[in-house]
Structure 1
Amino acid sequence: MEARIFIICVLVMRLSAEDLKEKLKASVGGNITLPDPVMELGFLNYGTKTVAMVNNGKIDIYVDIYRNRIHWNKNSGLFTITQLQRNDSGIYAVDSKKGRIFLSAYKLTVYDPVPGPAVSTVSVSYDSCSLLCSVDQEATLCWYRDQEEVLNRSSHAVSLPLTVLRKDFNSSYKCVASNPAENKTAQVHMETSCSGTSKHQGQDMDPRLRIGLYVLMSILTVAIVLFVFFVIKRRYVDQQTTTTRQTQGCLDPDADVTYTDIHGWEERRSQAGSFPDPPAEHSNLRTVYDKLEVHRMIPEEPAVTA
């Protein structure tokens, strides 16, 4: 037994020093199947330890941490390790002793599960759309357009932005988060992510068109203000002109005024029949003016008879 273990140690050391047949990768919680079969008699070794033996169509497991985790398929002769953990990483050797005799070694690396990526819309403008792919722990991030990689970032990334031009809105996009063992994908639906209905909808307009609208609105505003100003000014001027004409008409001494002598009551009675009738155009005359004379205002004293 000791001699067999020594031989295995020598073989493993030799295999580890040379190129291994295959490097295997898997994620925590996953499974891995070693590709070379043991059909009749053979061993599965981990480092310097023999963890399982196949003989007479049965498997015996010698290491407790592998119990219920290493399975041997009688039909295919393949070993499968399930419920992988990080400490399962290392060099495994399949040693077939009967039938097809061989010794194959494999380097298994177990990685933490890759996080699922999430894509969010940063901003939407008239000619572009900014997207952000992010994960909650470090991974390799890549952007693909129509199955072609357009942008990537190293395994120490937690986010990766991408700007999509409007001319490419009809293409399909996806963000892939990966590690050497697996990858996960987030598909982008451009019709919803970059539709312009986001919180930046107000920016979804050609800047030149927006400036033109601002200029047009400014011109219309100024025109309306000037129109209102001139209308008000015109009304004010017309009102002032009418008022001035009315005032001048009242102050003109020759405007539609008829003068006549004023006679005393007795004179009027004696001369009642001598007043001419007013002209027809002055038939509505209501005010009569006369020249004031002092001798007509002082009453005459009666004559004294001796």
Structure 2
Amino acid sequence: MSPVMKSWRTIIFLFLVRLSETEEVMKNLTGSVGGNITLPDPVMERGFLAYGVNVIASVKQREYEIEEDIYMNRLHWDQTTGLFTLTGLKTVDSGVYSVGSRKGRTFTTSYKLSVFDPVPSPAVEKLSLSSESCSLLCSVAEETTLSWYKDEEILNQSSSAVSLLLSVHEQDFSSSFRCVASNPTEKKTLPVDVTMFCGGKKSQGSDNPDQTHHLMPIIISVIVGVVLVGPAAWFIRFKYPHIKKTMSQTQDWADMKTYVQYTNVNVCRRSQGENFSGSSWTSCC
């Protein structure tokens, strides 16, 4: 084999070895606004951290230096572990980061970081109610992934929505339902008591499932009346005993009236000028 061919074989071999050592591996990372993210590959003595094609931090002889001012006080390097950590995450921090080590175990690893806003809390309201089903709407303030669950079964789901509708049949009112708002970093769950929103099964002969609610004010009024009138009557009885005496006298007078006897009274009329003798009366009634 000629020296030229040997040289080319050596060059190709070294290139393949170098390529295997510096092979880029793309990994996905997620974070929430305001949170922190640590890139898991260490740079112990000499290396760099890049965002896109720009080097934002470098390590030389175990000394750390930030190259971009926007990462000052937010990007940290741990001398013991060799790991980079980005704090106070913002949505604009999303992108491709590359960690490279140039001493010891040489490598370059790339990460695709996605930073999400915090998941909004879901809320549920009743839209309609019929004799056979009830419609519930789960909504959030910002677009996110919404899901309706019955026990552990997904009934309805949307990957990017601000509201999601669910129709529940009457025979399922007693089942366990929940609405879940989520993104790749977190989720928030709202348990839903369908009977609270839609009422229980209707009683036979009743057209209004909320009839009990209409009776509640009357029941409360009766209870309040009993509670207030009882103590008031006790107070009057012992504070003003003469009232009882007067009422007793009034009752006695009413009883006496039952013993009064009545008789007929004759009223007579006489002519003008006549005396009062019995024969001079002209008429009596």
| Same fold, judged at TM 0.5 (above) | yes
In the alignment, which of 184, 202, 205 is matched to residue 205 of structure 1? 202
Structure 1 counterpart SS, 2:171: helix
1:85 and 1:120, CA in 2 relative to 1: closer, same or farther beyond 3 A? same
Q: Is the 8 A contact 2:94 2:114 kept in 1?
A: yes
What TM-score, normalized by structure 2, do the two folds share?
Answer: 0.56
In the alignment, which of 93, 101, 118 is matched to residue 96 of structure 1? 101
Alignment partner, residue 187 of structure 1: 191
Where in structure 2 are there 5+ consecutive unaligned residues?
A: 1-18, 208-285
Write the distance in 1 (CA, Å) between the matches of 2:41 and 2:68: 21
C-alpha RMSD over aligned residues? 2.9
In the alignment, which of 135, 139, 143 is matched to residue 138 of structure 1? 143
Of the two, which has the highest radius of gyration? 1
1:151 and 1:79, CA in 2 relative to 1: closer, same or farther beyond 3 A? same
What TM-score, normalized by structure 1, do the two folds share?
Answer: 0.53
Point out the more displaced range, 174-183 or 142-151: 174-183
Structure 2 counterpart SS, 1:21: strand
Task: Give the drift of 1:173.
Answer: 1.8
Q: Can you list the C-alpha shifts for 1:71-96, whole angstroms capped at 9, x where unaligned?
A: 22334322111112222122110001
Q: Can you list the C-alpha shifts for 1:2-55, whole angstroms capped at 9, x where unaligned?
A: xxxxxxxxxxxx9xxx98521223233222221212233221111222111234
Q: Is the 8 A contact 1:20 1:107 kept in 2?
A: no
Match status 1:53 vs 2:83: no
In the alignment, which of 76, 82, 91 is matched to residue 77 of structure 1? 82
Write the distance in 2 (CA, Å) between the matches of 1:23 and 1:102: 17
1:20 and 1:120, CA in 2 relative to 1: closer, same or farther beyond 3 A? farther
Q: Is the 8 A contact 1:32 1:80 kept in 2?
A: yes
Write the distance in 1 (CA, Å) between the matches of 2:68 and 2:188: 34
Structure 2 counterpart SS, 1:192: helix
Task: Give the drift of 1:141.
Answer: 1.2
1:42 and 1:19, CA in 2 relative to 1: closer, same or farther beyond 3 A? closer
1:21 and 1:176, CA in 2 relative to 1: closer, same or farther beyond 3 A? same
- The structure in which a higher percent of residues are strand is 2
Structure 2 counterpart SS, 1:158: strand
Write the distance in 2 (CA, Å) between the matches of 1:171 and 1:82: 43
1:46 and 1:123, CA in 2 relative to 1: closer, same or farther beyond 3 A? same
Q: Can you list the C-alpha shifts for 1:157-180, whole angstroms capped at 9, x where unaligned?
A: 211111223333343222122334
Alignment partner, residue 171 of structure 1: 175
